[in-house]
Amino acid sequence: MVEVKSVQKSRHYLYTEALMKRILPDDHEVSSIQQEFYRLEAGLSGEVKLKQTLSDYFFKTDYHIIYNFECMNEKGFSHQIDAILITPFFISIFEVKQLSGTLFYKPGQHEFFRIHNDKRENFRNPLDQVYRHQLFLEQCLRKWQINIPVYFAVVIANYQATLDESLDNFPIFHISGVPSFIENLYRNASKTNANTNVIVAKLNQLYKPLPPRRFISQNRLRKGVLCKQCNFENTMHYHYGLFICNFCHFKSRSSLFETLHHYRILISEKITNKQFREFFGIQSIQAASKLLVRLGLERHGSKKGTYYIIPEDILHWGEKRMRKG
């Protein structure tokens, strides 16, 4: 049996991605938000590269892979693990880094840094980071009375990065070394009595998506339906079932669902007729009511207390409704 949970965007990624399009251009945090999004984008790219590498590998046993596993431990601290490989012989945790430059490590000081463009920059030690995940997972397995070894590796997804000799004796290597690492684990491990399906089920019970690591007040966000053709720089107006760009005159139905997605991610999953009109730039109560009814959103309350629930998968949900329509 082979089961692979796909690479998914975290809630923090989705929040930052929407924020990139909605933050007011003169906001004091525009630059830091952009830099954060580029880091998240690079990280996601690294996770996709790892998935491609593992998809190309011929496993010797049944296996499961869970990507972007998130949860809170019993002490209230978070764990975000890029990938967990589960086999009957072993479990391995992978932490993916999309770093550039030359990477160095001082093990005595647990100091991890790089030299890039003649500048030194210190980073949070990824070896300590993934070791913390290993300890947590081992504790969970003991609690579940499951006996199976847990290993870990830090994978560098950027081929242009150079690993200094100071990293030679540690489980950190370029992504091309992943197959050799797994081969070595198979050679040195024995099959256990652990039921991998039970482990996956336990991890699924433990899984809890982490909230975004930042929140921006609504008054710092751009309102309106934004034109994708204009790179979300210009607003659109509603006219007979379509949103039309005020600048390039691009016409779209899908922009409605993208804007609902932004509202859900950045503000709330609940939306009233008044909030819908204010955020979407629709003047008419009747037009907004008809549009909300046509959307078929889950409705709660009555009269002035009526509100609608925007589903988590509003983008895919919207695509299906448009195809039916």
Which parts of the chain register pLDDT below 70?
1-6, 318-325
pLDDT of residue 241: 80
The reply to whether the predicted model has a pTM over 0.85 is yes
What integer best gives the mean pLDDT of the chain? 93
Say what the pLDDT of residue 81 is: 97
Kindly write down the DSSP assignment for every residue of 21-77, as one continuous string: HHB-TT-TTHHHHHHHHHHHHHHHHHHHHHHHHHHTS--SS-EEEEEEEEEE-TTS-
Element (H, E) at 127: helix 126-143
What's the confidence (pLDDT) of residue 87?
97
Q: What is the pLDDT of residue 319?
A: 65
Is CATH 1.10.10 the right assignment for the domain spanning 224-324?
Answer: yes
Domain ranges of the chain: 2-206, 224-324
The residues pairing with 84 across neighbouring beta strands, listed in sequence order, are: 66, 93
What pLDDT digit, counting tens, does each position of 25-47 carry? 999 999 999 999 999 999 999 99
Q: Distance between CA 305 and CA 300 in Å, rounded?
A: 8
236, 227 contact by CB (below 8 A): yes
Only one residue has tokens 């959307």, namely: 295
Three-state DSSP state, 87: coil
Tell me, letter by letter, the H, E, C secondary structure of 277-306: HHHHCCCCHHHHHHHHHHHCCEEECCHHHC
**From edge to edge, which strands make up the β-sheet containing 119-123?**
119-123, 111-116, 102-106, 162-163
| Segment holding 106, helix H or strand E | strand 102-106
